[in-house]
Copies of this chain bind each other. A is one copy, B any other.
Amino acid sequence: MNTQFERQVQHHLDTHDTPYLLIDKDKFLANVNSLKQRCSRYHVTLRPHLKTVRSLEAAQHILETTDAPATVSTLAEAEAFAQAGYTNLLYAVGIAPSKLDRIAQLRARGTDISVLLDSIEQAKMVSEYCNTHHCEIPALIEIDCDDVRAGIRSDDPLLLDIATSLNQYQGLLRGVLTHAGGSYQCKNPEALQVMAQQEIDAVVAAANKLKQRGFQCEMISVGSTPTAYFAANFDGVTEVRAGVYHFFDVVMADIGVCSLDDIALSVVTSVIGHNTRKQWLLIDAGWMALSSDSGNDSIPGYGVVIDQHGTIYPNLRVLKLSQEHGIITDINGDPVPFDTFPIGSRMRILPNHACSMAAMHTQYIVESQHSTQSDIWPRIVGW
């Protein structure tokens, strides 16, 4: 680890009160750039998902222009990014009718935001809303490619019925979208490549069926961080979405998308107890700072220990959490190096799931080896 960065971290380890959320800006920028370059090589548009970072300052590094495509998962994000001038947004959670007023307001002020749906009921609600309010709300139909979350199968007869309902008064159908949430459970590059192709095949099949029936389908959107990295090609799709790659996390390292050393997010915490009898090291970061999200079933606990010098201790894990306490132990039952982490000393915890860890905080402390100043980036909160 660079000594200047070490000094910076040391400075902030000493000046900010624990627990707090830290971005290693250099790793963050490298991660942002890595997927940007991959998408450029594969000639596919990247529509970054901003739900993980939820930060205007982070978005400035992720989106090169204000009309660059972006994804959000709450209208609070959409409104904050629209307020900052971003005009090309996709709200990628199935639309509830009560949210149409806010969507219409965003569109009326010049933000081209699309919505997502997977039922005739939603298609009729959107269509009738637009007819009543003399507006246009473009919508994508969500396709289920892996049985993990929302959407209809690409061979479901509902597909054409939803498209027909959407276009009842005017052409609101903008395209199709899928998300391979199942990729988080893949365990090797081959499985990830298969999942990526499955994701693409599902949405391309749906798009082709729609086009054959004369529907416009200008957006054909796939994405998850693992499939964005492992797809052999993006033939047939117009864009790829991904979010957690900005920070990466232990789950992404576990399935081979990154290494632990790529992870740009951590919580800085103080050691508040040693229990040599139980071989427990207690810290002042509980689920309130780390989240209760353990990532996936194959990863023990709630985060990996990294010391003040950047050394990762892959066997030292936060294994138990209460609200403001974390209990660290060695997953192999080896002795905990208490001398390395005396009471009052600080360490960092790498997230099993970066989105969840970030969600517990209202701001980031941002450090870079290229600056002697740290920054504070506020997070957009709420819905």
A-side residues, CB < 8 A to B, are 14, 17-20, 51, 73-75, 93-99, 102, 118-119, 121-122, 125, 147, 149-150, 181, 270-275, 278, 282, 284, 287-289, 291-294, 320, 322-325, 327, 342-344, 355-356, 359-362, 381-383
Q: Which of B98, B99, B324 contacts A73 (CB 8 A)?
A: B324
A272 lies within 8 A of B94 (CB): yes
How many identical subunits does the complex contain?
Answer: 2
**A383 and B273 in contact, given A98-B344, A149-B327, A292-B293 (Cβ under 8 angstroms):** no
A17 lies within 8 A of B93 (CB): no
Chain B residues, Cβ within 8 Å of A149: 282, 320, 322, 325, 327
A287 lies within 8 A of B102 (CB): no
A119 lies within 8 A of B274 (CB): yes
Chain B residues, Cβ within 8 Å of A287: 291, 293, 356, 359
A282 lies within 8 A of B323 (CB): no
Known contacts A93-B325, A121-B342, A150-B325; 12 further A-B pairs (Cβ under 8 A): A17-B98, A51-B323, A73-B324, A93-B284, A97-B343, A97-B344, A119-B274, A122-B272, A149-B282, A149-B325, A291-B291, A359-B360
A96 to B73, CA, bound (A): 37
**A324 and B51 in contact, given A121-B342, A343-B119, A356-B287 (Cβ under 8 angstroms):** yes
B125 lies within 8 A of A95 (CB): no
**A284 and B94 in contact, given A51-B324, A273-B150, A343-B122 (Cβ under 8 angstroms):** yes
